[in-house]
Amino acid sequence: MDTPRILDVIASPADLKVLTNDELAILAHEIRQEIVATTSVTGGHVASSLGAVDIIVALESLLTMPKDRVVFDVGHQSYAHKLLTGRRDTFKSLRTYGGISGFTKPTESPFDVHFSGHASDSLSIATGLAKARQLKGTDEKVVALIGDASLAGGMAFEALNYMGNEQLPLVIILNDNEMSISRNVGALMKHLGNIRANNHYREAREGLQEAMETCGPVARGLLSFGRNMKESFKQMVIPHSMIFEALGIVCTHPVDGHNIAELRDILSLVLEMDGPALVHVVTRKGEGYEPARRDPERFHGTGPYDIATGAARKGRAAHPTYTEVFGAALADEAAHDENVVAITAAMTGGTGLKTFAREFPARFVDVGIAEEQAVGMAAGLAFGGKKPVVALYSTFMQRAVDQMIIDVSLAEANVVFALDRAGLVGDDGPTHHGTFDMVYTRMVPHMRVLAPSDEAELVHALHTALALPGPVALRYPRGEGAGAPLPERPEMLVEGRARVVREGDDAALLAFGRMVGQAQAAAELLAAEGMSVRVVDMRWVKPLDEEAIAAAAATGAVVTVEEGVVAGGAGQGVLEVLARQRSQARAITLGIPDAFVTQGPVSQLFADLGLDGEGIAATVRSALA
Ligand SMILES: Cc1ncc(C[n+]2csc(CCOP(=O)(O)OP(=O)(O)O)c2C)c(N)n1
Ligand SMILES: CC(=O)[C@@H](O)[C@H](O)COP(=O)(O)O
Ligand SMILES: [Mg+2]
């Protein structure tokens, strides 16, 4: 008979209060087993979640939740929190269609504070919660859990600046594992490394222990009373200051993030403080599961895997991904043009830049989780005569729209924006779908926007973008390409010229990006019903091919199809052209409606949104009816 698990009797963090440190450590082990068992089937952010288990168990054992608020940065490490807050039974549905989210999500649980997914926002949210607490005169604790890489994001720095000045009562738990998705980068990372290297925490802790034992009740009384707390805390545990101290934020020595007793000791102290405090916790990504410990980058975000070996369950895809094709094409371009510089914001692997980084290390820049810096720096590089290619996920580029408008486009700087993960991404869900980029690029003066329909087109689009003066964006989706043979040589595309991929005169489908494939599927279905439908690969979101639009309108029915929000999107651009042309054609824009799209397989989401062959065919039928 199996030994009963502690995890099975935990309905909420309140149940943790009766457990000893040893029992909490056993619970942490059970949670890790549960995370591995589930993610081996669903995939997920394994290494970060495993690394944060002890912190979450220790922290939540000390809080009164959901009254006390814990803000998870990115939220990719929150699986233990999910298991402790009433989602043990639904955990198996992690990241699946209709299942629980891979990030915190307030509509899923009252224990979740915000829709996490984008890095570096937790401290700002926490400052808002702490300010609200002050205004209401309430006493709930506010804690933010943030990783070492996310702490370097601009938004986090802005929050530190504010909270230190205002002396807001909140606790930052810095989960320092020396890793972003790959190895962490930057001066802050080096600073944290120096602190770890000079860690006198043990001696300080023993001093604290002694102080607590000799004058325990007095010291504790002082602490809980909150008077002079910062000073007493400093005297007891902090022999030297650092950057955070200079900003008015009390900072602890590095604490072992896998020792629940130590974590509870230090957390119970800082939770009683009346100003901002940062607990520097040292963890190992993937802790408790050897394959993830060995290869934390692969297990940062993984698909299903074999538990015994850690090997991926899915075999190699039939075709290279858009990302792989982009990475190879960019390295090729860089080999022919020494001015090409590649910039990533902590997504070297995700944006396909590993080859480039290896072959051209001097021309490769990883700014860390700092999209604004990536785009601002690209402007500077362009002013200095270089040809920067900023490779970002479409969703993360949202952080740097201002820099794209003011620093790059106003100056007509030669910057290429390579927007990966444009369109629906699948299991990460609404925070990660790249559904806004056609709007935020199209609206900017001087910007040109390409939406290649397959991987061969992507090679040409990149080549064209690098050759054109001024800012150019290209957008392409996550995952496997369409299987189009790659060209021997990249071609220069004619600016603003679409290509007809199927003739027809009953109606016209004007499709953008990989929607061209879905439009062709729709045309096939309609052909079987006797309808002749033209399919146009629009290639350019901006400038649009006005002749191709006029020719489409001559069929009498135009349906635009895009993998992005319709409000302000490419289809809207087509409508503007049709209006200018005083067209009488019936026109319908298909794309993402005014709602956030859920998580799930992309094919399922396409079907739900009417963006698969069937759905598009149905719209054409209604346009012709
Ligand atoms: C604005 C933004 N940029 C990039 C990412 C992609 N991303 C997700 S997690 C991560 C690394 C986070 O590292 P860290 O904060 O140290 O947490 P760890 O995974 O090491 O626990 C990155 C770059 C993101 N989620 N949001
Ligand atoms: C949490 C996060 O933002 C990233 O880890 C993201 O999930 C990566 O997505 P891809 O799997 O598309 O690279
Ligand atoms: Mg980290």
Whose CA is closest to 377, among 344, 352, 355, 330? 344
**Spatial CA neighbour of 230 closest among 248, 211, 244, 216:** 248
Which residue's CA is the closest to the ligand 2 atom numbered 11? 301
Q: How far apart are CA 43 and CA 448, in angstroms?
A: 37
Looking at residues 483-489, what average pLDDT do you find? 96
The CATH fold assigned to 322-475 is Rossmann fold (3.40.50)
Q: What percent of the chain has pLDDT over 70?
A: 93
**Helix crossing, 201-214 with 260-270: angle to 10°?**
70
Measured from the alpha carbon of residue 296, the closest ligand is 1
pLDDT of residue 220: 46
How does residue 242 score in pLDDT terms, banded at 50, 70 and 90? confident
| Burial degree of 85 (CB within 10 A; 0-12, 13-18, 19+) | buried
pLDDT at 207: 59
Token readout for 33 is: 């087993």
Q: Give the Cα separation of 178 and 117 in Å (integer).
A: 20
Q: Which residues are catalytic?
A: 285, 371, 399
State how far the Cα of 29 lies from the Cα of 46, in Å rounded to an integer.
14
pLDDT at residue 130 above 70? yes
Domain boundaries in the chain? 7-294, 322-475, 499-624
Residues with CB under 6 A from ligand 2: 45, 74, 76, 181, 300-301, 350, 421, 425, 428, 478
Query: Can you give the pLDDT at residue 148?
Result: 97
Token pair belonging to 429:
């869900």
Instruction: Report the atom number in ligand 2 closest to the C-alpha of 431.
Output: 3
- Average pLDDT score, the chain: 94
Q: What is the model's pLDDT at position 406?
A: 98
Rounded to a whole number of angstroms, the distance between the first and last alpha carbons of the chain is 65
239 pLDDT tier (thresholds 50, 70, 90): very low
**In this structure, which CATH number among 3.40.50.2020, 3.40.50.920, 3.10.580.10, 3.90.79.10 belongs to the domain 499-624?**
3.40.50.920
Q: Is 228 annotated as a binding residue?
A: no
Average confidence (pLDDT) over 574-592: 98
In the three-class reduction of DSSP (H, G, I as helix; E, B as strand; rest coil), residue 251 is classed as strand
Summarised one tens digit per residue, pLDDT across range 210-220 is: 655 554 443 44
Calpha distance 523→539 (Å, rounded): 18
* pLDDT value for 230: 55
Q: Is 177 known to sit in a ligand binding site?
A: yes
Considering every ligand atom shown, identify the ligand nearest to the alpha carbon of residue 479 and give its number.
Answer: 2
Q: pLDDT at residue 240 above 80?
A: no
Q: Among the atoms of ligand 2, which is closest to the Cα of residue 426?
A: 12
Report the DSSP pairing between strands 499-502 and 533-537: antiparallel
How confident is the model at residue 232, as a pLDDT? 53
> How many angstroms separate the CA atoms of 201 and 397, rounded?
39
Q: Is 29 annotated as a binding residue?
A: no
- Calculate how far, in angstroms, residue 116's C-alpha sits from the geometric centre of ligand 1: 11
Position 314 scores a pLDDT of 85
The predicted pLDDT at position 264 comes to: 98
The beta-carbon contacts of 210-219 under 8 Å, at least 24 apart in sequence, are 211/236
What is the pLDDT confidence band of residue 225, given thresholds at 50, 70 and 90?
A: very low
Work out the average pLDDT over 2-29: 96
Q: What is the structure's pLDDT at 316?
A: 80
pLDDT tier at 203 (50, 70, 90 boundaries)? low
Helix (H) or strand (E) holding 52, with range, is none
> How many CA atoms lie within 13 Å of 441's alpha carbon, on the beta-carbon side?
31
Residue 206 has pLDDT above 80, yes or no: no
What pLDDT score does 609 carry? 98
SS3 annotation, 261-323 = HHHHHHHHHHCCCCCCEEEEEECCCCCCCHHHHHCCCCCCCECCECCCCCCECCCCCCCCEHH
pLDDT at 78 over 60: yes
- Ligand 2 centroid from CA 181, angstroms: 9
> Mean pLDDT, to the nearest integer, of 71-78?
98
The mean-pLDDT minimum among 147-161, 226-240, 373-387, 486-500 falls in 226-240
pLDDT of residue 318 exceeding 50, the answer is yes
Domain 7-294 has CATH 2.60.120.10: no
Mean local confidence (pLDDT), 520-543: 98
Do 7-294 and 499-624 show the same overall fold? yes
Of the pLDDT bands very low, low, confident and very high (cuts 50, 70, 90), residue 2 is confident
Q: Are 450 and 474 in contact (CB under 8 A)?
A: yes
234 pLDDT band (50/70/90 cuts)? low
Q: Which residues surround ligand 3, an ion (CB under 5 A)?
A: 147-149, 177, 179
Atom of ligand 1 nearest to the CA of 119: 26
Provide mean pLDDT across the span 106-135.
98
Could you report the per-residue pLDDT of 369-424, keeping only the tens digit for each?
999 999 999 999 999 999 999 999 999 999 999 999 999 999 999 999 999 999 99
How far is 544 from 573, CA to CA, in rounded Å?
8
Question: Pairing state of beta strands 416-420 and 472-475?
Answer: parallel
| DSSP letters for 521-533 | HHHHHHHHTT--E
User: Angle 189-190-192 (CA atoms, 0-180°, nearest 5)?
Assistant: 65
